[in-house]
Each structure stands twice: as C-alpha cells, then as structure tokens.
Copies of this chain bind each other. A is one copy, B any other.
Amino acid sequence: MFRSHTNGELRLANVGQEVTLCGWVQKMRDKGGMIWVDLRDRYGITQLMLEEGKTDANTLQIARSLGREFVVQAKGVVVERLSKNDKIATGDIEIKVSSVEILNPAKLPPFLIEDETDGGDDVRMKYRYLDLRRNPVRNSLQLRHRMAREVRNYLDSLEFIEVETPVLIKSTPEGARDFVVPSRMNPGEFYALPQSPQTFKQLLMVSGFDRYYQIVKCFRDEDLRADRQPEFTQIDCEMAFVQQEDVLNVFEGLIKHLFKTVKNIEVGEVSRMTYAHAMKYYGSDKPDIRFGMKFVELKGEERDLTSGKDFQVFDASNLVVGINVKGASEYTRKQIDELTDFVKRPQIGAKGLVNVKYNLDGTIKSSVDKFYTEEDLKAWVAAFESEPGDLMLILSGDGDKVRKQLNELRLELGNRLGLRNPDEYSVHWVVDFPLLEYGEEENRWFAMHHPFTSPKPEDIDAMMSGDLGKVRANAYDLVVNGVEVGGGSIRIFQKDLQSKMFEVLGFTPEEAKAQFGFLLDAFEYGAPPHGGLAFGFDRLCSLFGGTESIRDFIAFPKNNAGRDVMIDSPSPLAAAQLDELKIKSTL
C-alpha cells in the first residue's frame, strides 16, 4: 500500500492519526524555517508541514529538493491547522511530516498546471497528459463519466439492452466519407469504420431486441471544422413497435433525467415545433427559443407591405423579413453599422440591413424613409407588434437564404442583449423534416437524414408520384439552447418502400442490392415497425459542461488536421506492413 488516505479525505476527526499520502507537488513555501507543501491528487489537496529543528535534517533536505509536479510519498501525523483554509475540504488540518520519499522527480512542466494556465493550444495538445492534470479538464471528463452512467441508468430502467455492434463493417457510398481498413486476409478488400451503427440497430429490431442502445464510437472522414472530430461518440438508440410520439416521450424523458440527476435542473415541458415553423419564424432547424424575436414577414406568401414604392431592393426580393429588437431604438449609428457589417460578412452574405426605429416619443425613423411614408412604416410597426423604444431590423432576398442570414443576426442580438443565458435551458423537438433535399451541384436528391428514414404515411403518394420536395419525414431533432443534440426518425420497415427510397436516391436495383441487400432481405423475414435516434454525446457533455468546445470532453482529441500531436499519429508504415496488406502509396 503506497498510501493510507487520498489527499481529499482527511478532516479534524483524523487529528492524531499516522498517515501516508501520495501525490504531486502543487506548490511549496519555505519561509522562516517552516516548509509547507501542497500535495495534490484527483481527490484534493492536503498541506504537508515540516519545521526546522523539529523535522529531521535528512527529511528537510529531501523536502527542499522538491519541485513542482514531483511525485512524492509523505508519512506523518495529522494535526490541526492554526490558520484554516476554507477553500479546500482538508483545510482544517495539515500533516506534520516525519518522512518524505521522492517516487519520481519531474521536469518543469511546459505550462502551469493550474485552473488558469499559461499554455497555448498547441503545447497543451502535445502534452495532453499534463493538461489533463488541470482541474477544469479532469472535471469535464468526470462529468462525461457521470453522464454516461446516468444515460445507462435511465435506459436500463426502461429495459433497453446495450448491444455492441461491429467496428469493422462495410463501406457505403451514401453519406459522409468513410475511414477504411485494408483486409490482409482478404487482399484487395477493405472494411470501413461505422459512421453510425444504423443498419445494425435496425437488424437488432428485426431480431426482436425491442429496445436497443449503445454508447458507441463513430467515425467520419470529413474535413475538420473547429468543433468536429474524426472519431466521436453517439448515444445510439432504437425501439420496435413505436410511433414517433413513443420515441419522443422516451427520449425527452432521458434528457430530463440527465438534467435532474447531473445538474439538478427540472426541465419543464418539452415542446414540439415543425421544421416548417422553425424555418419560417427562426430561419433555423435548431432555433434557440430561450428568447423571442421571432421573424416577421413584411413581404412573403401571406402579405406584401413593401412593394410598389420604388425601393428596388425589396421589390426584387421574394421575401422581406425582420425581427423586432425590444428597447433598442436608441442604438447609435455605430451600433447599427456594426450589425450591418455583421450581416455583410462573407460567411453570412447579406447585401445590407434596413432598420426602423420606433422611438420612445412615438416617431418612426428608418433607413428607407426615402421610399416609405410614415403611414407605410406604421403598417410595418403593426406587423412587428413593435412598441415605442423598439428597433426593427429587416433583411430581404431569396426565401430560405435570407432566413438563414436573419437567423445569424437574431442569435447575434441574443448574445449582445444577454438573452442566451448559459444557466437557463430550453429543450424542444423539431419535427416533420423534409425527407429529401435537392443537391443543386450534383443534380439529384439526397436523404436529409439518411436513406432509412420513413416518409410520413400521408406523403407517400407524393413520393410515389415524384413530387419529392413535398415529402415530409417522420424525423425529429432534439434541440437544447439552439444546439442540435440528437436526432432520429421512424424507419422504413417494408422492403418495397425501402427499394423505392433507394431508387429515388439514384441507386440502381443492383447497387441497392450490393450495398444493402442484407437489410432488404431482412425486411422480408418479419421486420417490425421501428424507430430511434442518436445523441451526439461529446456535444451533449459540452453543453452540460457549459462550454462551446467539445475538445475538453474528449480525453485525447485530434487537431484540425486529424492529427494526434501527442503520439504523432497518423504516421508512415513500414514497407513490410504495406506489402502484407497488398497496397502501396501512390504519392
């Protein structure tokens, strides 16, 4: 036994006990013949104390040779501290040290092992094992563990069975790019790593497992954005003999359970919103509904309050849409310019921003006064339901494109006005997604979710008759604070409908059979109706942790080039390895 206690557990009740502690040197003070050492481990910090003249000379000498992050074992007796430290749980006591042993010395770390560190991203990635020593990072991973545990508690209580599905599977052309694995035993052939266990969980439903889940690694070989990882973790779930409502009920239950057990927050009612509604009123399929500022259309399908006044910009647009910003009528020219610059940034791409101020004195002032009379503007004010003191911000252009621009502006204002409180949580479903979306570049239809998603029964006729843009899916996303944390669908379970879906996606019958023959076969041997969903576990953890980045919730993340800079991977292989695999580089 290296230690009798951890550094987090000694209290006044232990005073007088002989103890042995182990840990890392967090910091040291050597002053006036007294030496204090803060000894750290995962459980806490305990103060060691040595005293010139009382502690034996050899032990004092060892203590004086210690440096930051040395690993030491100290023996001594627990004594009450004269000056208590109420910042740490062990702050009432310290250890009067009788002996110290250095278990392993440490070079000076390349950055401070403190909650606030001086290390940049790159050095912290290279020395990830040191960054993981810092409390915020370790706490993030402990939170992740607790969340995984509560996910399992909840799903186990509902008789879900966790089943491991294979990692070495088959490459499929649909969806994102696969990582592939050459097979040595089957030369010229490759496995693929799963982007999700989608078909396997559906087969488990065909097998009668009834309720399946898995917390499982998935893989996508995509160009990495700041917050994407080539390997990520899903909470993957599927249920048989269910309709959409059954699935929504079970999994809003899961999210409520997590909020309750992990954060002690009671989530209220989980509302539902159609995709059409979300796009029309928020310009996003994952609206943040912690605040209002819903879109108001001045010109659109329902009305036109802008045309015929010689304002070419609006006249040339099929949609004129804006938001009403409460109490912002006194925004300065500079503030308005900032917002205009914001929407004109290339990644947003608006041409300009129209503003209408409904001043506290009742007057109305707009950036388009040249074209619109006060009467016109009063009609706008009525449409926006503005009150004196409000500011209306208006964009125009082409349908969903301008809605997406306005969504960015709405979120930006939400941030500026402090309406997106990270300690407040809104949880809701977006439902009735389109089944298909058209790829202009590729000139064909793509599955919006994936090829196994079921059309709504009432839209199957439209699908059969080729009116593909009209077909809605039994698909749903769970949105928390404007972040999509999960999504799923009721699946197709009939061979004919699944074949039709593949046809719509441009598969020949031969291609469908070669890629998904096993699933089509399975549907002929008694497949039950089924559906499910998957949560992005990394993102869910970061949301619960109150940060934007998922990296701190992954023990050993990769950088934006897909590299693990700590172990220096990927790396070249020995020629003999490639020979055995019957492949070679074409570089």
Using a CB–CB cutoff of 8 Å, the interface residues on chain A facing chain B are: 1-3, 6, 22, 24, 40-43, 69-71, 103-107, 109, 127-130, 132-133, 138, 141-142, 144-145, 148-149, 152, 156, 161-171, 173, 177-193, 199-200, 203-204, 206-210, 217, 219, 221, 223-224, 230-231, 233, 241-243, 245-246, 493-494, 517-518, 521-529, 554-556, 558, 561-564, 566-574, 577, 579-587
Contact = CB atoms under 8 A, between A and B. Distances in A.
A188 to B, nearest CB: 5
B183 A181 contact: no
A186 B526 CA distance: 45
Contact of A204 (B105, B233, B555): B555
Copy total for this chain: 2
A191, A193, A494 pick with most chain B CB within 10 angstroms: A191
Given A43-B210, A152-B149, A104 B523 contact: yes
A104 B497 CA distance: 12
23 contacts: A2-B242, A2-B243, A3-B241, A24-B208, A41-B208, A42-B208, A42-B209, A43-B210, A69-B525, A132-B207, A138-B208, A141-B209, A148-B162, A166-B558, A168-B569, A185-B224, A188-B572, A188-B585, A190-B570, A200-B555, A579-B586, A582-B585, A583-B584
Contacts of A569: 168-170, 191-192
A554 B200 CA distance: 13
A562 B186 contact: yes
A581 B171 CA distance: 14
A563 B166 CA distance: 12
A369 to B, nearest CB: 53
A226 to B, nearest CB: 15
A203 B129 contact: yes
B164 A168 contact: no
Nearest to A576: B173
Given A525-B69, A528-B104, A180 B573 contact: yes
A203 B132 CA distance: 9
A381 B200 CA distance: 61
B41 A185 contact: no
Nearest to A142: B161
Contacts of A217: 164, 167, 217
Contacts of A104: 493-494, 523, 526-529
A464 to B, nearest CB: 19
A207 B133 contact: yes
Closest A-B pairs by Cβ, 3 of them: A106-B526, A132-B207, A170-B569
